[in-house]
A and B are shown apart, each in its own frame.
Chain A
Amino acid sequence: MSAHSTVIGVSSKRGVWGGGNEPLKASYGKLMMWFFLLSDIFTFAAFLITYVATRVTYPAYEGPATEFVGSNEYWPVPELVFEALPFLHGVHAPLIFVGIMTFILIASSVTMVLAVEAGHRNDRNDVVKWMLWTLLGGITFLSCQAWEWNHFIHGTESGTVLTYINSLSQNVTETVYGANLVVNEYGPASFAQLFFFITGFHGFHVTIGVFLLFLCFYQAAVGVYDKRGHYEMVEKIGLYWHFVDLVWVFVFTLFYLI
């Protein structure tokens, strides 16, 4: 190195224009993740508010919950639509399964935040351990959702007699089993459409999250982050994973409780 070479980053007079500083005291990656999540909040909010807006265009079911039958004349009571459990055929267990799913996702969010905490301490063993638990939680949640969809699509044994306009624009009256985008045995067509669209879009986010979690788990395990000198990737993927949990909290309330 010659004696005349400039040493970058020593002069305090260079100020903010000299580069090398972090706006908002967050790294580039973290900042961009936050703004991506903000835009994703708007996307999901638009979907969920559309659900609410569509819902209020239909009357609510008035009669006693025990005598509920599906109809495209009124919006269904969700706890009577989502009342099945895997391996327990015919058991009436309203909301139990979706409660388990919510529990799994919150639990995986907790293990994720523990992984982030371990990352701050540069503790590779703890990061790997908690990432693995988070990954397992994510995969379990996806499997549950696959079962939930499967059950929703195939429907109950008795079905519901509905009068509706089918895909060939004919007015038909027949027994409908399960759900598709044209008709469903539970309620108005838009109920199943919004269910597929919103939980599907959330499930898609979870799927991407599982890929990212695996990537992060693998890189942590082989020591990529040790070589890099920091565990910020765990933090960034953690932000995304918590966001997925955040959205599910709202999906849970709007689809299954209200």
Chain B
Amino acid sequence: MEIQENKSTLIVETRDEQKIKKIWKTAFILLAITVVEFIMAFTMDRGIILYFLFIALTVWKAKYIMMEFMHLGDEVKPLFYSIIVPLIFLVWLVIALVKEGSDIFLMRW
């Protein structure tokens, strides 16, 4: 009975090698960026330039994950923008809280 129920009526399509290749390519890019970050952590002096590069590379990785792995780029434009546009508020939060933090630093030390 159980086996009969499990019998599939769905048609299994063959692998699209092109798509699978693209997935592995994205994976390789993510890995390569992480390796670059690693090398930078040990070879460059700590400072604002390094931190800026780290954050830029991180956002770049995030873009790959969202667009390629989560297929956000393949969704219709209104859905795409309704996810991306609200993130603008975070820019404000970063500026506001980092300013606040630096001011506390000046008061405290």
Q: Is B65 within 8 A of A25, CB to CB?
A: no
Contacts of B27 in A (CB 8 A): 106-107, 110
Q: Is A52 within 8 A of B23, CB to CB?
A: no
Task: Mark B63-87 against chain A: 1 for CB-CB distance below 8 A, else 0.
Answer: 0011011100001101100110011
A7 within 8 A of B: no
Q: Is A222 within 8 A of B6, CB to CB?
A: yes
- Classify the interface of chain B: helix, strand, loop or mixed: helix
Task: Name the segment of A41-49, A139-147, A157-165, A193-201 touching the other chain.
Answer: A41-49
User: Which residues of A in the span 46-63 have a Cβ within 8 Å of any Cβ on B?
Assistant: 46, 49-50, 52-60
Task: Mark B13-26 against chain A: 1 for CB-CB distance below 8 A, else 0.
Answer: 11110011001101
Query: A residues engaging B (CB < 8 A)?
Result: 24-26, 31, 34, 37-38, 41-42, 45-46, 49-50, 52-60, 77, 79, 94-95, 99, 102-103, 106-107, 109-110, 112-114, 117, 120-124, 126, 222-223, 226-227, 229, 238-239, 242-243, 245-246, 249-250, 252-253, 257-258
Query: B residues engaging A (CB < 8 A)?
Result: 5-16, 19-20, 23-24, 26-27, 30-31, 34, 37-38, 41-42, 46, 51, 54-55, 57-58, 61-62, 65-66, 68-70, 75-76, 78-79, 82-83, 86-87, 89-90, 93-94, 97-98, 100-102, 104-105, 108-109
